[in-house]
Homo-oligomer: A and B are copies of this chain.
Amino acid sequence: MANLNDDLARYLISTVSKRSGVKSDLVRAWERRYQAVTPTRTTGGHRVYTDQDIARLKLLNQATNNGHSISQIAQYSLDELKNLLKNEVEVVPALLSAGSTSDRVYLAEDYIEKCYAAVVAFDAKTLETHFENALVELGTETFIEHLLTPLLTIIGDRWRTGELRPVHEHMTSSIIRSLTYILRNNNPCAADAPRMVVTTPIGQLHELGALLAAIIAELKGWQVTYLGANLPAEEIAAAVKFTDARAVTISISFCTDDLVVPKEIRRLKKLIGVEVALIVGGRAAGHYKAVLDEVGVLNIQGYGHFREILDELAANKPAT
């Protein structure tokens, strides 16, 4: 259980004592004599501890019970303490610690494999667990950039070659949609942030691309209204009106032979007007290049490009 609230938790010494199993007096003695923990203080002078401190004291307690001298190990880091204990008895299940950025990118690749395996195995629970762990270990940024983006690209590819079925995609979308909650929570956005609607046009049932776009935009500080897949132009336009959005992003990942998509795009642009930017992305967007150019659409070439467009749009004041 890696806690995200290390900097949030605020305990007084009695709680710490109960949780760590080290008596209050001893906690103070360890601090006084060896700076084993260095709690902050209230204005009145009471010690204030974090979850880290508790974890630390727990480990120190175990180590001393195992015969180690407190004066020798008091200043060890959490990791050192864990190692210390691991080698003796399998007292504590060890947790990995995060490293440098490059380490994390490497780690992400590891996660991609695991996650993809879970997708293939259709194991939603495992997939979600991997995502959660990755999120903690990699941080939101790296998670999106080096895990989610490549993973979804792979899934898209394999889906086209028939290695994966549509259900795989549905299942994955489902998990990621519920993850949105954490992602959003990590990045509260300002009230005056620019607003955007994200969806897919009618006939386009694959939402992974749109989902990713929504997440990226949210991380970039946009207020995103995500509407899922398969919406007719009028509905999208209505959402734009309702939210007073400055941009609409739609994802097109599948070429249909009929003329639905071009028609929808023309209608949508007409309905939302020139004030609102229309961004189109997705694997199959290139297929409709003619319409896109004609109508005046921002055609995304990859997620890096999408980010650039977002920055530009955010920089420009609303043209009103």
Q: Which A positions have Cβ atoms within 8 angstroms of B?
A: 1-5, 8-12, 14-15, 18-19, 42, 46, 48, 67-69, 71-73, 76, 79-80, 83-84, 86-87, 121-122, 124-125, 165-167, 170-171, 173-174, 177-182, 184-185, 188, 191, 199, 205, 207, 223, 225-228, 230-232, 235-236, 238-239, 242-243
Least distance between A307 CB and chain B CB atoms (Å) = 22
Whether B1 lies near A174 (C-beta < 8 A) is no
Contact A68/B9 with A4-B83, A230-B230, A238-B167 known, Cβ cut-off 8 Å: yes
CA distance A219 to B76 in the complex (A): 23
Q: Across chains A and B, which 8 residue pairs bring their CB atoms closest together, nearest first?
A: A10-B72, A15-B67, A122-B242, A181-B181, A170-B227, A178-B181, A178-B180, A167-B235
Nearest-neighbour CB distance to chain B for A29, whole angstroms, equals 16
A9 to B71 alpha-carbon distance, docked (Å): 12
Complex contact B205–A230 (CB within 8 A): yes
Closest residue of B by beta carbon distance from A80? B8
Q: Are the CB atoms of A184 and B178 closer together than 8 Å?
A: yes
Known A-B contacts A67-B15, A71-B42, A166-B235; the reply to A1 vs B87 at CB < 8 A is yes
Q: CA A34 – CA B100 in complex, angstroms?
A: 39
Q: Which of B15, B83, B184 is within 8 Å of A5, CB to CB?
A: B83
